[in-house]
Amino acid sequence: MKEIVVISGKGGTGKTVITACFASLAKSKVMADCDVDAADLHLLLHPEVKEKHEFRSGKGAVIDEERCTGCGKCLEVCRFSAIIDNPPRFFIDPISCEGCGICSFVCPQGTIKMEEKICGEWFVSDTRYGPFVHARLGIAEENSGKLVAIVRQQAKQIAERQNKEYVIIDGPPGIGCPVIACLGGIDIALVVTEPTFCGIYDMQRIIKVTQHFGVKTCVCINKCDLNPENSKAIKKWCKDSNVEVIGEVKFDINVSRALVSGKSIVEYQDNSVSSQIKDLWDRLN
């Protein structure tokens, strides 16, 4: 079994579009969307949810309203304005609460407890491409790296049980904790970039991260014809950094039309771009 993660140094490079194409091209695979902060691969895979699980992480303060005497000590020490004064008792705004626990420490009646929070959900679904593991992180919730690890683990377990050849992961953009959670034990990372100054800079940052962790890395230049000079600069930097550019995909308005119809470009139309992505998949293997 081979684990492939598709990542990018920044958002908007076309990472999810490429991943959806791989979903239709690979014959034996499990798909995973590890971009849990802004998951959107499901918009193209149209999953039918089979399992739904709560994701719990971190703790938040909860007041026992019946036992609260309204002394106000919690209000005095809360630095995040999470305590709501509603005489004769106090309440906690779960959005504002940072889970520091100082209110539970100072409460003389012991009416404030720190309880584990439900931060999101993760799902196991069926799609027309096969099994799909994905998640949704709650608004303003943290620990997305932990949720990424759960999604990866579940996808790998399904692939092992069903003897699948690939786990194809739509990774998060950037270089933060969710990306690092995607890279451990990966066979190969495909970095999708674009020929802009931001695209080049952020590509360099994420490649330095993958090299730090010893992950085999290759690059695809998406919309390569929009700025040929920057595309040349990307290839030169990759050559100097011993990173192979295995694909160049041209801009095509039909990609947007395919997205509107809820399909990947390789399903939507047999054209030069779909051929370039098919060649990219072949070279990735």
For the stretch 5-62, pLDDT in tens is 999 999 899 999 999 999 999 999 999 999 998 899 999 999 999 999 999 888 899 9
Q: What is the pLDDT of residue 69?
A: 86
The secondary structure of residue 164, as a DSSP letter, is: -
Q: What percent of the chain has pLDDT over 70?
A: 100
β-pairing verdict for 217-222 and 89-92: unpaired
Mean of the per-residue pLDDT values of the chain: 93
CATH number of 58-118: 3.30.70.20
Alpha-carbon distance of 35 to 42, in angstroms, equals 11
Q: What is the pLDDT of residue 95?
A: 84
Q: Phi, psi (5° rounding) for residue 244? A: -85, 130
Give domain 2-46+128-284's CATH number out of 3.40.50.720, 3.30.360.10, 3.40.50.300, 3.40.50.2000. Answer: 3.40.50.300
State the pTM of this model: 0.89
Interval 155-201: pLDDT, tens: 999 999 999 999 999 999 999 999 999 999 999 999 999 999 999 99
Q: What is the pLDDT of residue 66?
A: 84
Residue 274 has pLDDT above 90, yes or no: yes
- Percent helix, strand, coil in the chain, to 5, is 40, 30, 30
Alpha-carbon distance of 127 to 120, in angstroms, equals 22
- 159 contact partners, CB below 8 Å, separation of at least 6: 1, 29, 30, 131, 166, 167
Give residue limits of the domains in the chain. Answer: 2-46+128-284, 58-118
Task: Return the higher-pLDDT residue of 88 and 77.
Answer: 77
